[in-house]
Structure 1
Amino acid sequence: MGSLDPIAFDIETSGLDDSAVLTVAGLAHSLGEVLILNTDGRTANSGKLENALQPDSIGNVEVLLADDEEALLGILHRIAHDRLDDDKHYLTAYNGEVWNGGFDLPFVRTACIKHSIDWPFPEIAYADVFSFIDRFDTNNEKGLVEVYDGLIGKESCDPFIDSGAAVEAFKTEDWESLLLHNLSDIQRTRELAILGGKYVPRSDFQMKNLNPPNK
């Protein structure tokens, strides 16, 4: 927004019940993407996955492996502190956190509490794409895929029809498909944020600072 460059964020989880864990956390920036994969202690080859995903990257894709949810959060914390610059970037997601709910950021907060890990996004500004998407005529569509197809319509690398398939991919160790799904979502989100930055009034971005007051 303004001179700030959007960093798109999206997560995948093992489900929606109380035992669900983070399986992927992805970030898309102007030079490519970073995908953190929770293997749940199983085998994955980051180099092979990067090679498989590279043709669909906007620049360079990096795959980082974690053995469990706690390790994934630790990597996310390090990436956020080392690579996100609050003077240059703002974080965005699609229904990641809006005034009456959202999914991604609340899920990450609860996971951080569970593992006693500090909030990974202190001080950086945040604006949710979902908060301004009604400034476009989307024929009452609200889903990320439908809105993206209506406004931008570029072919996606997403192998799934819906996010539910990502749960099964985690169970069956279909890492490539799981990561492609997340890659497609962060790319869509970032492109919509850029589009909004060109056409939507700044006030409609509802930008806020993610720094907790008692940090």
Structure 2
Amino acid sequence: MTELDTVAFDIETTGFDVDDQLTVVGFDTDVGSRIFLNTNGRTPPSNLEARVNEELASSVSLSVQQTERALLCEMSAFVESTLANRDAKLVAYNGERWNGGFDLPFLRTRLCYHEIDWPFTGLPYIDAMDVFETRFNTSGDTLTAVYEELIGSGLTELDPFADSKEAVEAWETEDFESLVRHNVADIRRTRSLMRLAERYCSKSHFTMRSLDPVA
């Protein structure tokens, strides 16, 4: 399993209802972060990518779309052209578990709404939350809390939000820089925790699922 590169994944949305939409989709790999932003027709600052990279002091590639459909199309093209051809596994924190999860179910609904094909064929998936709930002794159950307890506050200091709910308000008020920085912090927390788990847990402690659709 460790021979597969970890690709951490996280989304931001306008809410939790069936008619809410994606605002950000982010991936983090060993070479940097790739972020897809839906501005809903609004114009972000022309130097947004440069500002995010300056704040995070790291490699962030930002792709800006005017609609959710355009974001999903660009994200799908990236996954199919870049990730599907690598020896990689997709990892999220509460992205999809045997009894629920958020990111992948939400994404399926929005892809279905826009009649866009599922892009993750060929990528195995691991939910990091399962490992940390069962194989580590932590008092917190959120991504941020577990990261701070086991690794530290480095990324938290770069995250402008104390709670992910603030991401909704940031998108509504066009604070795109804070929104993107928050997403980058989350995908990097996820990837760091997965690396930590692989150092201390056996292969049998992880549940790897196929993301291939039946049809």
Report the TM-score, using the length of structure 1 for normalisation.
0.94
- 1:86 Cα deviation from its structure 2 partner: 5.6
- 1:57 Cα deviation from its structure 2 partner: 4.7
- 1:41 Cα deviation from its structure 2 partner: 0.5
Measure the CA separation in 2 of the matches of 1:74 and 1:94. 24
Match of 2:186 in 1: 185
Residue-by-residue CA offset, 1:128-157 (whole Å, 9 max, x unaligned): 101101211112x21000000000014221
**Secondary structure at 1:127 match in 2:** strand
1:30-45 map, 5 Å: 30-45=30-45
Measure the CA separation in 1 of the matches of 2:57 and 2:87. 19
Measure the CA separation in 1 of the matches of 2:181 and 2:3. 29
Q: 1:56 to 1:33 in 2, by over 3 A?
A: farther
Q: CA RMSD in A?
A: 1.4
1:142-181 map, 5 Å: 142-156=141-155, 157-181=158-182
Structure 2 unaligned regions, length at least 5: none
Q: Is the 8 A contact 2:84 2:122 kept in 1?
A: no
Measure the CA separation in 2 of the matches of 1:110 and 1:178. 22
Q: Is the 8 A contact 1:122 1:210 kept in 2?
A: yes
Q: Is the 8 A contact 1:158 1:181 kept in 2?
A: yes
- 1:123 Cα deviation from its structure 2 partner: 1.2
Residue-by-residue CA offset, 1:165-215 (whole Å, 9 max, x unaligned): 10000100000000011010000000001111111111221001101121x
1:109-120 map, 5 Å: 109-120=108-119
Structure 1 unaligned regions, length at least 5: none
1:181 counterpart letter in structure 2: H
Q: Is the 8 A contact 2:18 2:109 kept in 1?
A: no
Match of 1:99 in 2: 98
Measure the CA separation in 2 of the matches of 1:194 and 1:57. 20
1:60 counterpart letter in structure 2: S
- 1:87 Cα deviation from its structure 2 partner: 4.8
Match of 1:52 in 2: 51
- 1:19 Cα deviation from its structure 2 partner: 2.4
Q: 1:195 to 1:30 in 2, by over 3 A?
A: same
Q: Would you say how many aligned residue pairs link Structure 1 and Structure 2? A: 212
Higher mean alpha-carbon deviation, 57-66 vs 105-114, is at: 57-66
Q: 1:58 to 1:205 in 2, by over 3 A?
A: farther
Q: Is the 8 A contact 1:31 1:59 kept in 2?
A: no
Q: Is the 8 A contact 1:32 1:57 kept in 2?
A: no
Match of 1:122 in 2: 121
Measure the CA separation in 1 of the matches of 2:175 and 2:47. 13
Match of 1:138 in 2: 138
Report the TM-score, using the length of structure 2 for normalisation.
0.94
Match of 1:28 in 2: 28
Measure the CA separation in 2 of the matches of 1:117 and 1:132. 31
**Secondary structure at 2:105 match in 1:** helix
